[in-house]
């Protein structure tokens, strides 16, 4: 049952974050607590799972259930948890290194299966915890401790990836706009199915303050366009790949059967014990 009296503070553990002053991850923590309070989620019905990284410390600062897993493995653990405990709201969080690099092979599968869990990436385009190595989202030409002349790699584009992985909810926000961030987290938590939110979250220590300037000067709130329709996949692609601006908002949201829905329908048919029922159920999925 929703706790009407819960305030954002009730969702915090009371541990003092050890992030550097100015780190974008503070805003994500605040936004998550505020979104949980707005949704009135019972604390004991929420589990936040992470991997390893500065950003992956986030579950420790929350007073919900939490699991700090190994590097890159937030998503498979979150998926297993959600499938075995459907009564829980399960949120996976982590960094661009954790989710797109070492853990990158898990994203396509939770997306295409449409498991009812949520994923927030704190994308600072660097490996923060390990002191500033190049990451899969570091822009080409960027100097880091492992690319002293500038990165020679083309970065991946998370929004483009998630659209092609068939994620049923794809959005982007930034630590620089707390209200927008809260609204995106609330929307993703309300979505039934796999929901992905990329958060442009500056690392002041290893990427400097210029990340703030870039996000501030190049962001565009795409869903403020008149007649904006988040179910339009072609528009979503445009906003995901355009080099002209950083798209903020829900790029794509479309409801379809979750993995759990199909599993339950098949189970019901199997229980009925008739082969023809099973075949009909399968045909329904293939439409």
Ligand X SMILES: Cc1ncc(C[n+]2csc(CCOP(=O)(O)OP(=O)(O)O)c2C)c(N)n1
Interacting residue ranges for Mg ion, rule: CB under 5 A: 95-96, 124
Least distance from Mg ion to the Cβ atom of residue 261, Å:
34
Residues 65-84 contacting ligand X, CB under 6 A? 71
Residue with tokens 């299966």: 113
One DSSP character per residue, 185-237 reads: HHHHHHSSS-EEEEEE---TTTS-THHHHHHHHHEEEGGGSTT--TT-HHHHH
- Closest CB to ligand SF4 among residues 53, 66: 53
223 interface partner picked from Mg ion, ligand X, ligand SF4, none, CB below 5 to 8 A per type = none
Is there binding between residue 176 and ligand SF4 (CB under 6 A)?
no
Residues 36-65 contacting ligand X, CB under 6 A? 52-55
Is there binding between residue 124 and ligand SF4 (CB under 6 A)?
yes
Interatomic CA distance for residues 69 and 48, integer angstroms: 11
Among residues 180, 177, 171, 163, the alpha carbon closest in space to that of 250 is found at 171
- Closest CB to ligand X among residues 89, 201: 201
Question: 52-83: b or e for each residue (b if 16 or more CB lie within 10 Å)?
Answer: bbbbbbbbebbbbbbbebebbbbbbbbbebbb
Residue with tokens 């030409």: 141
Binding mask 4-23 for ligand SF4 (x = CB under 6 A): ---------------xx--x
Residues 226-285 contacting ligand SF4, CB under 6 A? none
- Closest CB to ligand X among residues 53, 66: 53
- Closest CB to ligand X among residues 124, 258: 124
Among residues 120, 66, 113, the alpha carbon closest in space to that of 98 is found at 120
Number of shown-chain residues binding ligand SF4 (CB under 6 A): 12
Residue with tokens 């002041």: 204
- Closest CB to ligand SF4 among residues 23, 171: 23
Exactly one of 11, 61, 65, 127 binds ligand X (CB under 6 A); which one? 127
Least distance from ligand SF4 to the Cβ atom of residue 73, Å:
20
**92, two tokens:** 């996976």
Cα–chain-centroid distance for residue 254? 16
172 interface partner picked from ligand SF4, ligand X, Mg ion, none, CB below 5 to 8 A per type = none
Q: What DSSP state is assigned to residue 38?
A: H
**Percent composition of the chain: helix, strand, coil (DSSP 3-state, to 5):** 40, 20, 40
- Contact set with ligand SF4 (CB under 6 A): 19-20, 23, 25, 54, 124, 128-129, 203-206
């Amino acid at each position: 049952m929703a706790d009407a009296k819960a305030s954002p503070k009730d969702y915090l553990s009371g541990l003092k974050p050890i992030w550097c002053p100015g780190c974008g991850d503070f805003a994500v923590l605040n936004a998550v607590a505020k979104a949980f309070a707005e949704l009135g989620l019972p604390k004991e019905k929420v589990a936040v799972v992470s991997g390893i990284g500065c950003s992956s410390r986030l579950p420790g600062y929350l007073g919900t259930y939490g699991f700090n897993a190994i590097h890159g493995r937030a998503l498979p653990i979150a998926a297993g948890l959600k499938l075995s405990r459907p009564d829980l709201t399960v949120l996976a969080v982590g960094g661009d290194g954790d989710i797109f690099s070492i853990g990158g092979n898990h994203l396509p599968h939770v997306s295409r299966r449409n498991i009812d869990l949520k994923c927030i990436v704190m994308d600072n385009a660097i490996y923060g915890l390990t002191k500033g190595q190049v990451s899969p989202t570091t822009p080409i030409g960027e100097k880091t401790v492992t690319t002293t002349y500038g990165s020679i790699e083309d970065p991946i584009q998370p929004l483009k990836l998630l659209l092609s992985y068939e994620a049923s909810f794809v959005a982007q926000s930034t630590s620089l706009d707390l209200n927008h961030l809260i609204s995106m987290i609330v929307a993703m938590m309300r979505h039934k199915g796999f929901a992905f939110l990329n958060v442009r979250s500056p690392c002041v220590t290893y990427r400097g303050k210029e990340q703030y300037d870039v996000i501030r000067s190049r962001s565009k709130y795409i869903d403020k366009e008149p007649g904006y329709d988040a179910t339009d996949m072609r528009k979503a692609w445009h906003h995901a790949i355009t080099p002209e601006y950083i798209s903020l908002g829900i790029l794509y949201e479309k409801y379809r059967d979750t993995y759990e829905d199909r599993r339950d329908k098949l189970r019901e048919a199997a229980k009925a014990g008739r082969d023809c029922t099973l075949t009909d159920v399968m045909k329904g999925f293939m439409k």
